[in-house]
Amino acid sequence: MIKVAVVGSTGYAGEELVRILFNHPKVELKYLISHSYAGKSFAEIYPNFNKITNIICINIETFLQNKIDDCDVVFAALPHGLSEDLAYECYKKNILFIDIGADFRLENQEDYKTWYGKEYKYPEIHKDSQYGLCEIHGANIKDKKIIANPGCYPTSIILGLYPALKNKLIDSKSIIIDSKSGITGAGRELSLGAHYAECNESIKAYKVGSHRHTPEIEQELSKAFGENIKISFTPHLVPMNRGILSTIYCNLTKELDTNDILEIYGEFYKDKKFVRILKENTFPEVRNVRGSNYCEIGLVVDKRVNRLVIVSVIDNMVKGAAGQAVQNMNIVLGLEEDLGLNLIPTIF
Amino acid sequence: MIKVAVVGSTGYAGEELVRILFNHPKVELKYLISHSYAGKSFAEIYPNFNKITNIICINIETFLQNKIDDCDVVFAALPHGLSEDLAYECYKKNILFIDIGADFRLENQEDYKTWYGKEYKYPEIHKDSQYGLCEIHGANIKDKKIIANPGCYPTSIILGLYPALKNKLIDSKSIIIDSKSGITGAGRELSLGAHYAECNESIKAYKVGSHRHTPEIEQELSKAFGENIKISFTPHLVPMNRGILSTIYCNLTKELDTNDILEIYGEFYKDKKFVRILKENTFPEVRNVRGSNYCEIGLVVDKRVNRLVIVSVIDNMVKGAAGQAVQNMNIVLGLEEDLGLNLIPTIF
Amino acid sequence: MIKVAVVGSTGYAGEELVRILFNHPKVELKYLISHSYAGKSFAEIYPNFNKITNIICINIETFLQNKIDDCDVVFAALPHGLSEDLAYECYKKNILFIDIGADFRLENQEDYKTWYGKEYKYPEIHKDSQYGLCEIHGANIKDKKIIANPGCYPTSIILGLYPALKNKLIDSKSIIIDSKSGITGAGRELSLGAHYAECNESIKAYKVGSHRHTPEIEQELSKAFGENIKISFTPHLVPMNRGILSTIYCNLTKELDTNDILEIYGEFYKDKKFVRILKENTFPEVRNVRGSNYCEIGLVVDKRVNRLVIVSVIDNMVKGAAGQAVQNMNIVLGLEEDLGLNLIPTIF
Amino acid sequence: MIKVAVVGSTGYAGEELVRILFNHPKVELKYLISHSYAGKSFAEIYPNFNKITNIICINIETFLQNKIDDCDVVFAALPHGLSEDLAYECYKKNILFIDIGADFRLENQEDYKTWYGKEYKYPEIHKDSQYGLCEIHGANIKDKKIIANPGCYPTSIILGLYPALKNKLIDSKSIIIDSKSGITGAGRELSLGAHYAECNESIKAYKVGSHRHTPEIEQELSKAFGENIKISFTPHLVPMNRGILSTIYCNLTKELDTNDILEIYGEFYKDKKFVRILKENTFPEVRNVRGSNYCEIGLVVDKRVNRLVIVSVIDNMVKGAAGQAVQNMNIVLGLEEDLGLNLIPTIF
């Protein structure tokens, strides 16, 4: 059995990770680390785990002192800036570290400084880390010890755009991305804006043109295309617990119709279990993937304006965080990619 | 008192219209016409009207036979294709007709045929009708007898884009509109897709690039700009009862920053009570206008890509339907534009 | 014009009160007092008021120093224990004080101590205060200077039970009340439990048998019946912004059928504009009264068990707080009881 | 592998059953039968199954003609009155039949006639059927060929009351049950009342004192107590997809405090994996069991009135329908009771 610890286990992504790992047939969940709830039982914080686990949360100091060496894999779901020290410890000890946070996603330290306002503490370990969008980078992560799990918005967007860019179907200057996320995307920190009555029965745009996922999206799209790409990106908050739907607009540079492009997408993702390309005139809904590791993509060429419109949905908590983290672990450790991830979406 | 009839009173827009007209200080609500519920009391269909009104719904035949002559104004909230006959009757009798449906919105009969699959029955009365987006066309409707009340999506979009186009700030070929609507937008007809469990906790795009509001939006934007404009338009359904948020993207043709454009917008709408331009770094939320006739607009120049992003919200049932219909009536009849419309948004 | 101040104006009940008072034809809203947001414009806190009011919130010290004397009426929507000092100031100055909080609801100081853990500071002014459930106590409040506005749960419950108790139809020992409230009932204080993802798609009971509204309910029911009554009361939180539905169970002491009791209720409330008694086989829904000052009551005799089941709904923010406070003001000042309260429920 | 068919597979309970059976390690899902969608692929009806299954739905005639003999187990999720014929076929062929519908729940044919308005067609097979509330009747179903899967409300209620009745702690005449259900409880038939905008942001009671689950609840409670019991039962619809919370009130006949009763409950359910008894001062929330087969029970003695209040929650689609059906199959076939049911609740 693979021995696993989850640091930041009592945030939203952490809880989801525990839920998935708990039923993973090759995993033994050893330690749950929590800053806010150390000493409390996990099932007290998350009563859905009543009668399922008796694990007591411990703090990070205890974990580092005398527990970390028991582990094969450490997952971290922490606010940015807090993962690096832990990654460094794991790296020294040759323990696989999978970071659900943002600290290892940007290859260019300047970008990190610009968008997150901090410098890397251990630049040397960043070189040995790998951005782990499984369907794109699966082959590259196998020998890595630090995996940067992609952000939720970037996962939906990069999977949606990658084949079009790779195949140079579109004008790289024309990309506009309009994303809509459920409220868990805002995290579990106390905030008035996350109160039920403050976001229910409403929708809002936020951080228009300035969300921190922008450089991550641009980095990966640029690599796909082979040139620097800048995008427009607007995230929105929608009154639902989970899920992201990204609507992506771009100008076609060739004369193509919907089925031509569907064929290219189908071919590109043909071996990727977790990507579903919908047939013509069908578009994804968040509920089609809720609770699962799937990314579902529909697209259409709007002939009137010669523009390609791509709609991509994921569950922000699963494919956008915990599920993909487990998928990354599976790949690095040479397990079946979908082990523990056979979650059928809960359409209701 | 102005004597008023509402045809199609038991649909969602109809009910909202009755609600607003009921408290309008200059209106006497004379007749409620309903195809489905003729003979039933309105309060039985809509129990929120219990102890408020005893009006019994009548069918259209009864209305036309011996009631229509009592009316000064007839409102219609009907599926497309059903308003024209009624409009013709009103026109002959010199009764003001305000159509919340789609039959009089498109000036070009060809567009109507292309998008709605029908021809006009009485082309001559269309020439005498006027598209009534109050803040734009207020001056033109005063002598008209047939007012085409704008669609819900178009209202949010045209108000959001008009000053930018009128002032030639943007590339007219670059306009992309991503709109999100509450579920009442789908109407009250029985449909599985409108069932609670089929749209709750989800979001979806629909009619991507093919929604019937497209030609209406293009017609009005083209007039603003002075050239033919084609747009990309994607509507989405969001789990909330009411409201529309439209996020609009366009390339700037000039070097402008956010405040330059805010100033232009502020100037353009300075005398328009129902349009609120938000200050820099502030963006609208649907709840800020819920239950009211306001349109709220925020915008930002994304310097990284030299693109203007405009976010516009309305209540689809009020400014997007019933409220604007009443505003149109007020204007045509020379009343205060906001009479009966002093509805403070219900933020909760 | 009646000059009015609202203390605690930026909580949920406060905002609703401002919204109602703003359109009240006889009220001039002079001062908005806020502990948390003094110095900020009210429209900044509640952007639904953009372009509607420019009032700047002030703190209580400023208000007491040199503003209070401008006022005819002071409303307070404060946590318990904070109203008494202010009430005392108003009392000395002969200003009408309407308390939406809990400080004046319990006639028996012992009850207050037991349930709220505090003693009255100015017992003498309590004697001169009056519990203001308008439909029951309307006649008693006309000469009072301190009005205790009823709690939200008690309003729905007392109106639902009063005629049955007054007419001795039921066994007073058998009363069981199961209430369901929207999330605004929890107030605006930061709390994890009020976060969207922590209460959406769920329902829970809380404070089972120990909610502070219990003694208030018992006090009023006991007065109606003429003997001490003890009840079972369980409140629940339901994922909706507003509204309360109370289901009330009690054993009949007489042989009565549904219509007998409906007649008694109809007679009892026949002059009460804001109470709607539904006909047989019809039951209230929260949406039928949403955004309005109505209380809607349906009932049935379950012959199988000879039990009366009463279902009562209100909008917790309006009839359960701000609306009834305005109704109380209207009554004390000799205005039409429904002035400013002609709010038609928003069924959608 | 156990070969299984699901009749009524495209209703809400049917889809959930398919979802659970699909991941059951000992089950091969052979046939999906659907009246409305015969000839269509299941994944077209329920796109969450895209890339997961290619099964095409067949109609019941085809199934009976030449498929039924391939099956070891047939599940039916049909409106009442439609299961009996099918059960009879299975019975003759010695195939295990598990009925999620209502046709085999009532032992007394008179009750069925009174509440459902029909007579049994094959009374003889009813004698050989067994009501399958697993935690209560597990031992009795092992040799049965027709299992009546309990209704959703009854499951939450009977599990909540059973130990109290069995141990004669309460006055059997005093039982009052107030249940709240998510909207999937209303089924997938087209109906205006199930439309999003007609039930969102609201709550309502329905079929007060007359719901068809009443005789089923009374039958099982009576057996537990050893005497005929009549109850008050009021179901409500709450704006959420899934889940039931039942609040149960009854008078204590002994002097007991909360912990005495918790001990009795803990003892009674100590070997029942799927029942969770909460410790004192803790109450269940629907989200704690969402998506799982758990029933969670909290309770308190309200000393003021000597009444016991029990709160019980389940997921109406899982423990209240599909999950318990699989649990019943597991028991009858001698498998581990929780095989395929290790679903950790999705708290978000």
Span A152-169, pLDDT tens digits? 999 999 999 999 999 999
Q: What is the pLDDT at residue B206?
A: 97
Is residue D143 over pLDDT 90? no
Q: CB distance from B320 to chain C under 8 Å?
A: no
Predicted confidence band at A90 (pLDDT cuts at 50, 70, 90)? very high
What are chain B's partners, defined as 3 or more CB pairs within 8 angstroms? Answer: A, C, D
Q: Which of C51, C201, C278 sits opposite B276 (nearest CB)?
A: C51
How far from chain centre, in Å, is Cα A73? Answer: 18
Residue D240, min C-alpha distance to chain B (Å): 8
- What average pLDDT does range D129-149 have in this prediction? 94
Predicted confidence band at D54 (pLDDT cuts at 50, 70, 90)? very high
Q: CB distance from A45 to chain C under 8 Å?
A: no
Cβ–Cβ gap D48/A344 under 8 Å = yes
Q: Which residue has the tokens 């156990």?
A: D2
> In the predicted model, what is the mean pLDDT of chain B?
97
Predicted confidence band at B31 (pLDDT cuts at 50, 70, 90)? very high
Cβ–Cβ gap A247/B234 under 8 Å = yes
Q: What are φ and ψ of residue C138, in 5° steps?
A: -50, -45
Q: CB distance from B52 to chain C under 8 Å?
A: yes
Cα C148 to Cα C129: distance, rounded to the nearest angstrom: 7
- A101-144 pLDDT, tens digit each: 999 999 999 999 999 999 999 999 999 999 999 999 988 888 89
Is residue A303 over pLDDT 90? yes
Strand, coil or helix: B315: coil
User: Comparing B269 with C141, which gets the higher pLDDT?
Assistant: B269
- D93-124 pLDDT, tens digit each: 999 999 999 999 999 999 999 999 999 999 99
Q: What is the pLDDT at residue B139?
A: 85
Q: What is the pLDDT at residue A139?
A: 85
Is residue B143 over pLDDT 90? no
User: What is the count of residue pairs from B and D with beta carbons less than 8 Å apart?
Assistant: 56
- What average pLDDT does range D288-307 have in this prediction? 98
Cβ pair C232, C221 in contact under 8 A? no
Give percent of chain D with pLDDT exceeding 90. 98
Give me the torsion for CA of C216, C220, C226, C227, rounded to 10°: -20
A chain contacts of residue D48, beta-carbon cutoff 8 Å: 287-290, 292, 344-347
In 3D space, the residue among A321, A119, A116 whose CA is nearest the CA of residue A210 turns out to be A116
- C92-106 pLDDT, tens digit each: 999 999 999 999 999
Q: What is the pLDDT at residue A276?
A: 98
> In the predicted model, what is the mean pLDDT of chain C?
97
Q: What is the pLDDT at residue C142?
A: 87
Q: What is the pLDDT at residue B287?
A: 98
Nearest-Cα residue of chain A relative to residue C187: A197
- C282-341 pLDDT, tens digit each: 999 999 999 999 999 999 999 999 999 999 999 999 999 999 999 999 999 999 999 999
Which residue among C71, C90, C152, C250 is the active-site one? C152
- What average pLDDT does range D201-221 have in this prediction? 98
Predicted confidence band at A23 (pLDDT cuts at 50, 70, 90)? very high
Active site residue C134: no
Q: Which of B12, B184, B197 sits opposite D183 (nearest CB)?
A: B197
Q: What is the pLDDT at residue B142?
A: 87
Q: CB distance from C241 to chain A under 8 Å?
A: yes
D chain contacts of residue A9, beta-carbon cutoff 8 Å: none
In 3D space, the residue among A312, A281, A286 whose CA is nearest the CA of residue A161 turns out to be A312
Q: Which residues of C13-37 are buried (b: 16+ CB within 10 A; e: fewer)?
A: bbbbbbbbbbebeebebbbbbbeeb
Q: Which of D242, D287, D342 sits opposite A348 (nearest CB)?
A: D242
B chain contacts of residue A247, beta-carbon cutoff 8 Å: 178, 205, 234, 236
Predicted confidence band at A91 (pLDDT cuts at 50, 70, 90)? very high
- What average pLDDT does range C58-75 have in this prediction? 97
- What average pLDDT does range A222-227 have in this prediction? 97
Is residue B138 over pLDDT 90? no
DSSP, res D83: S
Q: What is the pLDDT at residue A143?
A: 87
Cβ–Cβ gap A197/C183 under 8 Å = yes
- What average pLDDT does range C168-189 have in this prediction? 97
Cα D138 to Cα D146: distance, rounded to the nearest angstrom: 14
Q: What is the pLDDT at residue D139?
A: 85
Predicted confidence band at D142 (pLDDT cuts at 50, 70, 90)? confident
What are chain A's partners, defined as 3 or more CB pairs within 8 angstroms? Answer: B, C, D
